[in-house]
Structure 1
Amino acid sequence: MPNGSLDESLHLKSKRKKQLNLLERLNVAIDVARALEYLHHGLNTPIVHCDLKPSNFLLNHEMTGVVGDFGLAKLFPEAKAIVISRSLS
């Protein structure tokens, strides 16, 4: 990714010369929340990342956050069935 990881941007380890400002940090936090919401609720089989940390959250050329490194991710097909059964009761 062109802007590296969130970890690099927060700790000035990247080519970026300045720290993320408050609005950029807020937008990245929103991107993280949207990504987790999609993984947990937006798919037929929910996914739990299990290793979400700043170095696994990448920033594209528009500073939009993208979740990466799904090496420890777990699929939970039974979680969708539980949610559906609770909503029907």
Structure 2
Amino acid sequence: MSDTQKLRWVFSFLMSLLMSAVMSGWVTWIVAGLNAQFLQHWSRAFIMAWPAAFTIVMLCAPSVQRLSQHLVQQRGGDCQSS
């Protein structure tokens, strides 16, 4: 596996993990509030959300990155990878 492929897998894993944790926690808090069952509800929501988030990031991240680069370059910005 190339370094580029490894980077894509690691990025997708970490980004989907972060987004699933934050968004499932946020929505659980809005819907159910902070109560005795919060962690139980949050963990269930996270476990259900993470596979979908990982799949979405794997499939959509390259297109979103290209679109972002196009939008930045179109506005005269200098979009270089660091």
What TM-score do the two structures reach when normalised by structure 2? Answer: 0.33
Q: TM-score, normalised by structure 1?
A: 0.32
Higher helix share: 2
